[in-house]
Structure 1
Amino acid sequence: MEKGLFKKGTMVEACFDEPGFRGAWFTATVLRPPRRDKKVYLEFRTFVTEEGGSTTVIDVRPAPPREDHRTFKMSEEVDAFHDDSWWEGVITKIHDNDRFSVYFRASKEELVFPACNLRLHREWINGSWIPPFEEIDNSIVWRPKGNKMLKPAGSSTKYSSKSKVKFEKGAQLEISSDEEGYIGAWFVVTYVKKAENNYLVEHKHFTTDDGTELLKEEVDAQHMRPLPPEILMVNHFKRLEEVDAWYKDVWWVGTVSKVLDNSMYTVYFRNSKEELEFVHSDLRLHQDWIDGQWIRASHL
């Protein structure tokens, strides 16, 4: 815990290890900075537990500086202010009057927000914001009216994120999991058949406990997608580029934090807060399957 960053009265953001709140950042004020026990005591503006209840904060970071004005682009990674906290999403549509559709991977839903309720998504890595704020100064072209945080207009509007592709027996797919420890991971599977309200798939790289056959499981449509189209990277990946990394027979969503020599890269994984090194051939550009089409995150 960086004591100098968390003085008494400092505004910070914190996230919780609670179902339904993973991936959300809540605004809080430091009541007591970290001491020998390395604990920091916070007072939240909007998050309230039940009487006698408690919850666990898994990460604390400084509150990012507010950008008074900027524009947003298609496929750009953003944080959206919704239900009193900031949620990570990706812009999928630009409307008139500075309104944007944002897709949330965690909840598989899409909502409409005014620009004043959005900010560019950044990660706090090793004591600095990635991407740095100075890198986006040239793109600032929009200024909201006032600083009040608004509830998202049209927040009741939801769009289907289910796959629009019908899979045939033997087709290669990728599936995701909501199981703890596997958020942000995509498993390669083979489609077997329709199974009541779900679908039966067979893993390509995982077997049953006794190792005698490939593992089969049932998944719903929201956790299935086709194999993403291959995008050849002849030269190299760029710093801050969002990628999928092949690790332990699974694709994991991460961000290139360092470009090393000999076609090596350091990749940061926001869910586990880890950095690992990969060769060029074990990485691919990250793409999202949204409303039946592949969307690439933009790169500054």
Structure 2
Amino acid sequence: MRSPRLRRQPAPAPARDPHPAEPTEVFPLGEAVEVLPDEGAYRGAHLPAVVARFDPDLRSYAVEYDALAISGASGRALPETVPASQVRPRPPPPSPAPHAEHAPVDALRDGAWWLGVALLGGGRADGKVAVRFPATREEAEFDAADVRPHLEWVAGEWRSPEDMETSKRTPYAKGTHIEVARLEADSVVAWFPAIVAKPIWKNNLLVEYPFGKGSELCNEIINIKHIRPCPPRASVISFCVNDDVEGFQDDGWWPGKITEIHPKLTYTFKLATSGKKVQLHQNTLRLRYDWTDDQWKQVAQNLSGTKFTGGDRVEVSSDEEGFNGAWFQGTVVKSVGHKFLVEYDALKDDDEITPLKETIGEEHIRPSPPAIPVTNGFKVLDEIDAYTNDGWWVGVISEVLDDQKYKVYFKAYKEQNDFELEQLRRHCDWVGGRWMQASLEM
């Protein structure tokens, strides 16, 4: 194959996080402090304690906990020696002013101070304060004396969340569409669409559910560990039996499997949680993806590898420079181990007459795409394939000239050309053994 050209962008250099500085202050024996364990059941808590000993070599403290913390432990082991980075002074006495709505607060529970969010602004006649704990998704009421404003000990001084830049940074800004986990016995059983209404201190958000009904939650304060971005917008042309999918039921996306295929794009969907079977239209089903390590990973399907035999119509891609985004039509002559001998329709051998034959690895071959009707033409920004230079090249509609003619922009080559409607087809991707009508790039 003769290569046009290929422009490559250099990969960005990986960013490095700076190492946090070690604390410089040393607390004397008998100093009243708070311990912030970073493991076990007390992660995120502030435990009242007194310094018993400091080890300068290990940069650690031996501490003795207050009787209240010990009694609240209920048999759970409290760390006796802790790193200096997990010890801070006790905060100053709080102001008697009532807590603002959604203000970060600490609430005293089981002998420890736990970070939460005040639910109602202003004082209450009964002297109680309602607090939400976003990490555990619990709510509780406390005496006003057992709730204090949350403060951070930074570089030897107390700082409120409002004064810290981190309170303004969040990966999910106001208005972002997300999905929130529904938990049963600490396991995720469904994902519910929501919108970020307000970022709150650190990793907490106020979210709104657009589909809430009756007793369902209309909004919730939640930690980002219980949310994920919306999955890739990839539309499957057809599902297969045993596909791992999510079905939209009761305002949420529930995992399950396809068990039967019916006419008119309808499927029997079996919920993973209850085993209940319902019939759903294709528009309310999607392939299942997991959000892992800040990226989407498609759940493996129960599919055997695509097998081709002699006479099968296929399309072939190439890693050669200049062929990015192109697929060339051909016919399988025979299989050769895990590869296939393909005869191309349009590409010719060196004599410019004989159809070119090549042995192709399975990673570069796919079935011929389905014929998707184009009833109302294309629109600007539609992703299409254009037939040119003996193959189908992916591009986008950049201008509609008339109902039979379009300008197409090829991003990989920064080129634009005119095409007739008959030279275009809807773009779809062969992913996980099935055809999908959109790129997985978000």
Q: TM-score, normalised by structure 1?
A: 0.50
Counterpart for residue 390 of structure 2: 249
Counterpart for residue 70 of structure 1: 176
Counterpart for residue 224 of structure 1: 365
Q: Which has the higher contact order (CA 8 A, sep 6+)?
A: 1
Counterpart for residue 227 of structure 2: 97
1:277 matched to 2:423? The reply is no
Change (3 A) 1:277 1:237: same
Runs of at least 4 residues off by over 2 Å = 44-47, 66-73, 99-103, 150-160, 162-165
Distance in 2 (alpha carbons) for counterparts of 1:284 and 1:250? 12
Change (3 A) 1:202 1:71: farther
Distance in 1 (alpha carbons) for counterparts of 2:298 and 2:383? 28
Q: Which runs of 5 or more residues in structure 1 are unaligned?
A: 1-15, 27-43, 48-65, 74-95, 104-149
Bigger radius of gyration among the two: 2
Distance in 2 (alpha carbons) for counterparts of 1:178 and 1:199? 16
CA drift of 1:67 comes to: 8.2
Distance in 2 (alpha carbons) for counterparts of 1:72 and 1:282? 38
Q: Could you tell me which of 8, 16, 27 is aligned with 1:17? A: 8
Q: What root-mean-square deviation, in Å, do the aligned CA atoms of Structure 1 and Structure 2 show? A: 3.7
> What SS does structure 1 have at the residue aligned with 2:372?
coil
Deviations 1:79-129 (A, max 9, x none): xxxxxxxxxxxxxxxxx83256669xxxxxxxxxxxxxxxxxxxxxxxxxx
Whether contact under 8 Å (2:334, 2:342) holds in the other structure is yes
Q: Which runs of 5 or more residues in structure 2 are unaligned?
A: 1-6, 17-170, 180-225, 234-290
Whether contact under 8 Å (1:163, 1:221) holds in the other structure is no
Count of matched residue positions in the alignment of Structure 1 and Structure 2: 176
Counterpart for residue 210 of structure 1: 351
Change (3 A) 1:240 1:156: closer
Q: TM-score, normalised by structure 2?
A: 0.35
Counterpart for residue 167 of structure 1: 308
Whether contact under 8 Å (1:184, 1:253) holds in the other structure is yes
Q: Could you tell me which of 400, 415, 432 is aligned with 1:291? A: 432
Change (3 A) 1:154 1:185: closer
Distance in 2 (alpha carbons) for counterparts of 1:226 and 1:175? 9
CA drift of 1:17 comes to: 2.6
Residues 180-191 of structure 1: pairs in structure 2 closer than 5 A: 180-191=321-332
Distance in 2 (alpha carbons) for counterparts of 1:237 and 1:264? 10
- What percentage of residue pairs aligned between the two structures are identical? 37
Whether contact under 8 Å (2:178, 2:228) holds in the other structure is no
Whether contact under 8 Å (2:407, 2:419) holds in the other structure is yes
Whether contact under 8 Å (1:164, 1:291) holds in the other structure is no
Distance in 1 (alpha carbons) for counterparts of 2:400 and 2:431? 29
Change (3 A) 1:230 1:163: farther
Deviations 1:118-171 (A, max 9, x none): xxxxxxxxxxxxxxxxxxxxxxxxxxxxxxxx99347899859x9833222111
Whether contact under 8 Å (1:201, 1:217) holds in the other structure is yes
